[in-house]
């Protein structure tokens, strides 16, 4: 049973019939298929973005650790090389996934023939053009694939030797729907608009209007007048704004550009937005910045990862699990998407710092993410946590060291005085305050770097940020500051000390930012980036905040 729901005939031709004629004719009169649609810039760009992004992500084969305690890479597995390095002898993994993804997105299905060693181990994957493959159901009820080769011969490949990626919104679980076929009217509109624009500008360099002659010239004279005018003022943009010379009382009457012609640029922009919607891409990815703002680009980039790219990755991972790792519950394949977030250095650093400070990440794991070699020794594989991860009650408690009683004489020193600050508690509170100031500086650095991307609005954005940031700074620093005052037996008002500390901190930051602004506008972003990376948490003068 072929998976076409309707048999081919004159009343309902099958897909192959339209493909043979060059594609489906849309209401605009344009013939659109998976190949001709790529001539439209928006479709080409959308296909490239998805295909190249998926292809650029490492596809790793993992082994599950015993007891469900995690995973580890499995470079010794035969699929590791096939999926990560080279699926066959003629192409690398990037080229393979780029081809497969383009077919998957635009055709709705992607196919790769599986070749095996004599013992059944997967050796290579060879991509097949989606046009050449048709899923069928055999008389035994199993799924198989009819493949037409370059000579026109048809061979049948069983499902056990075919990697089949199914596209979106499948109606039978076997074949998916491609964007091109579903969006052909929108694409046809875009192609028609492009052709109209080309014709409009090709003929629109001459002044738009009519020539009026006072007499009744012969046909030959009128043709000569028209040809002379068109040769001077037609033929493209290179003839625009040339001086017109009128003879024998001829006058020129300008004609306004019809609204539908004046608005066709808006139609082109609308068509790009339509294509972005079909491919579920943020419009700014296709260079449509009409609604992009300074604040929403970052969230739109996150949407690109979660809503546009991730579903395609899941299709790959599910198909590999079901078709290439049959009866193997120990191994699985997974894409590394961390690379998609590497563009924002500040956000990445903040996220990794938070993980490191909470003991979720080791130094060597951090360095591996940043593509750096591991540290020598064992410290790089240890997990660290800051001293401030302790209840304030314990920090402020002045408890004696184990084996020592209050008032007991220490070796080589005077008896311990009651109320003397506990140095460990003092150090812990100081580290807690310094770490909090550092976290606030990370927030400041991210905001200032983003603002520097728009030099003409930079100072206004800095003022707006710090007017609100002072409150956040005070709220964050207050708990460790109160602890520090307590363990040092300082009786000053915490809010008064905090006000002076916040004012000094923000004044120092503003002063350094203003100094960095003394540069050309095109150098501002680099200057600010360098500046914020040199900021270090400082509590100098905290003991003088009177």
Please give, one letter per residue, the 3-state secondary structure of 103-166. HHHHHCEEEEEEEECCCCCEEEEEEECHHHEEEEECCCCCEEEEEECCCCCEEEEEHHHEEEEE
Q: Is 445 exposed, middle or buried (0-12, 13-18, 19+ CB in 10 A)?
A: buried
Q: Could you read off the pLDDT of 94-112 as tens digits, one per residue?
A: 999 999 999 999 999 999 9
Question: What are the φ and ψ backbone dihedral angles of 327, each rounded to 5 degrees?
Answer: 60, 25
Which of 2-16, 166-180, 194-208, 378-392 bottoms out in mean pLDDT, i.e. has the lowest?
A: 2-16
Q: What is the mean pLDDT of residues 506-526?
A: 84
Looking at per-residue confidence, does 317 or 532 come out higher? Answer: 317
Q: What is the pLDDT of residue 343?
A: 52
Question: How confident is residue 545, by pLDDT bands cut at 50, 70 and 90?
Answer: very low
pLDDT class for 5, splitting at 50, 70, 90? very low
Q: What integer best gives the mean pLDDT of the chain? A: 78
Which residue, among 376, 347, 377, 381, has the nearest Cα to 363 in the 3D structure? 381
Question: Are 216 and 177 a contacting pair, CB within 8 Å?
Answer: no
pLDDT of 179-200, one tens digit each?
A: 999 988 888 888 887 777 676 6
Percent of the chain with pLDDT over 70: 73
Of the ranges 231-235, 303-307, 425-429, 539-543, the best mean pLDDT one: 303-307
pLDDT band at 240 (very low <50, low <70, confident <90, very high): low
Task: Give φ, ψ of 102 to 5 degrees.
Answer: -60, -45
Least confident of 209-213, 228-232, 269-273, 477-481: 209-213
From residue 186, alpha-carbon distances to 25, 73, 176, 189, 279 in Å are 12, 44, 20, 5, 12
- Greatest mean pLDDT range, 23-37, 249-263, 322-336, 409-423: 322-336
pLDDT at position 50 is: 95
pLDDT on residue 469: 84
**pLDDT of 455 higher than 50:** yes
Note the pLDDT of residue 406: 46
Residue 24 DSSP SS3: strand
Ramachandran quadrant class, 425 (left: phi over 0; alpha: psi -120 to 50; beta: rest): alpha
- Spatial separation of the C-alpha atoms in residues 305 and 485, rounded to whole Å: 46
Most confident of 120-124, 252-256, 414-418: 120-124
* pLDDT tens profile 241-255: 566 666 667 776 665
Pick 18 or 226 by higher pLDDT.
Answer: 226
pLDDT, residue 410, reads 46
How far is 196 from 190, CA to CA, in rounded Å?
10
pLDDT band at residue 7 using 50, 70 and 90 as cut-offs: very low
pLDDT tier at 458 (50, 70, 90 boundaries)? confident
Return the pLDDT at 366: 81
**Confidence at residue 141, expressed as pLDDT on a 0 to 100 scale:** 87
* CA separation for the pair 86, 64 (Å, rounded): 23
Does residue 162 come out as left (phi exceeding 0), alpha (psi in the -120 to 50 range) or beta?
Answer: beta
d(CA 67, CA 71): 10
More confident: 161 or 245: 161
pLDDT score of 381 = 85
| Alpha-carbon span 107 to 101, nearest angstrom | 10
Short-list 496, 451, 456, 453, CA closest to 469: 451
Distance set, CA 447 to CA 244, 441, 499, 506 (Å): 57, 10, 22, 14
Residue 247 CB-half CA count within 13 A:
8
Tell me: pLDDT of 234 over 70.
no
What is the pLDDT at residue 65?
Answer: 87
Could you tell me which residues are beta bridge partners of residue 88?
91
More confident residue, 462 or 395: 462
Mean of pLDDT values over 361-375: 79
pLDDT value of position 43: 93
Going by C-alpha positions, the residue among 182, 201, 204 that lies closest to residue 193 is 201
How distant is the alpha carbon of residue 207 from its chain centre? 46
- Which residue, among 147, 106, 62, has the nearest Cα to 334 in the 3D structure? 62
Using an 8 Å Cβ cutoff, are 306 and 317 in contact? no
Model pLDDT, residue 345: 60
When mean pLDDT is compared across 14-18, 115-119, 473-477, the lowest value belongs to 14-18
pLDDT at 28 over 80: no
The sign one gets for the Cα dihedral 474, 475, 480, 481 is: positive
| Element of type H or E holding 494 | helix 494-516
pTM of the predicted model, to two decimals? 0.58
Q: Which helix (H) or strand (E) holds 73?
A: strand 71-73
Sorting pLDDT into bands at 50, 70 and 90, what band is 238? low
Considering 133-137, 375-379, 444-448, the range whose residues carry the highest mean pLDDT is 133-137
Which has the higher per-residue pLDDT, 111 or 511?
A: 111
Look at residue 150 in the predicted model and tell me its pLDDT: 77
In DSSP terms, 59 is beta-bridged to 335
Cα separation, 211 vs 225, in Å, equals 9
Q: How confident is the model at residue 203 (pLDDT cuts 50, 70, 90)?
A: low
> Would you say residue 53 has pLDDT above 60?
yes
DSSP bridge partners of 137: 143
Q: Rg for the chain (alpha carbons), in Å?
A: 35
pLDDT above 90: percentage of residues in the chain: 27
Domain boundaries of the chain, sorted by first residue: 16-107+177-202+213-239+248-341, 386-544
Contact 345, 355 (CB under 8 A): no
Please state, in angstroms and rounded to a whole number, the distance separating the CA atoms of residues 230 and 224. 10
- Predicted pLDDT at 57: 93
């Amino acid at each position: 049973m072929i998976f076409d729901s309707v048999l081919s005939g004159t009343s309902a031709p099958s897909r192959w019939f339209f493909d043979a004629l060059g594609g489906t004719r849309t209401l605009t009169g344009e013939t659109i298929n998976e190949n001709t649609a790529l001539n439209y810039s928006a479709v080409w760009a959308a296909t490239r973005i998805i295909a190249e992004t998926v292809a650029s992500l490492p596809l790793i084969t993992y082994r599950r650790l015993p007891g469900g305690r995690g995973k580890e890479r499995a470079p010794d597995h035969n699929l590791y090389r096939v999926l990560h390095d080279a699926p066959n002898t003629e192409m690398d993994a990037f080229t393979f996934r780029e081809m497969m993804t383009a077919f998957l997105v635009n055709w709705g299905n992607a196919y790769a023939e599986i070749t095996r060693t004599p013992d059944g181990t997967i050796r290579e994957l060879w991509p097949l053009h989606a046009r050449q493959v048709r899923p069928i159901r055999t008389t035994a009820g199993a799924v198989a694939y009819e493949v037409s080769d370059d000579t026109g011969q048809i061979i049948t490949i069983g499902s056990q030797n075919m990697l089949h990626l199914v596209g979106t919104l499948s109606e039978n679980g076997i074949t998916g729907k491609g964007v091109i076929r579903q969006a052909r009217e929108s694409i046809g509109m875009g192609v028609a608009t492009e052709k109209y624009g080309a014709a409009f500008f090709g003929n629109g360099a001459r002044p738009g209007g009519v020539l009026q002659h006072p007499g009744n010239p012969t046909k030959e004279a009128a043709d000569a007048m028209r040809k002379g005018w068109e040769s001077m003022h037609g033929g493209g943009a290179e003839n625009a704004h040339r001086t017109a010379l009128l003879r024998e009382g001829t006058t020129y009457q300008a004609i306004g550009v019809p609204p539908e012609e004046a608005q066709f640029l808006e139609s082109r922009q609308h068509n790009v937005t339509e294509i972005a919607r079909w491919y579920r891409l943020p419009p700014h990815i296709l260079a449509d910045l009409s609604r992009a703002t300074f604040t929403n680009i970052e969230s739109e980039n996150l949407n690109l990862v979660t809503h546009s790219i991730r579903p395609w990755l899941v299709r790959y991972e599910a198909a590999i699990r079901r078709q290439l790792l049959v009866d193997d519950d120990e191994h699985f394949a997974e894409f590394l998407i961390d690379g998609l977030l590497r563009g924002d250095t500040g956000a990445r650093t903040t996220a990794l710092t938070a993980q490191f400070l909470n003991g979720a990440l080791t130094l060597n794991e951090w360095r591996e993410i940043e593509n750096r070699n591991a540290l020598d020794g064992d410290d790089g594989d240890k997990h660290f946590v800051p001293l401030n991860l302790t209840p304030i009650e314990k920090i402020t408690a002045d408890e004696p060291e184990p084996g020592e009683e209050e008032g007991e004489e220490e070796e080589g020193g005077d008896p311990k005085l009651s109320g003397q600050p506990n140095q460990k508690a003092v150090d812990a509170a100081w580290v807690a305050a310094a770490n909090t100031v550092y976290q606030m500086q990370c927030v400041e650095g991210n905001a200032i770097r983003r603002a520097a991307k728009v030099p003409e609005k930079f100072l206004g954005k800095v003022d707006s940020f710090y007017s609100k940031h002072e409150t956040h700074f005070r709220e964050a620093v207050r708990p460790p500051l109160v602890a520090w005052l307590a363990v040092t037996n300082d009786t000053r008002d915490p809010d008064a000390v905090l006000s002076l500390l916040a004012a000094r901190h923000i004044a120092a930051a503003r002063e350094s930012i203003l100094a960095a602004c003394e540069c050309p506008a095109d150098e501002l972003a680099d200057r600010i980036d360098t500046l914020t990376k040199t900021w270090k948490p400082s509590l100098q003068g905290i003991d003088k905040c009177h």
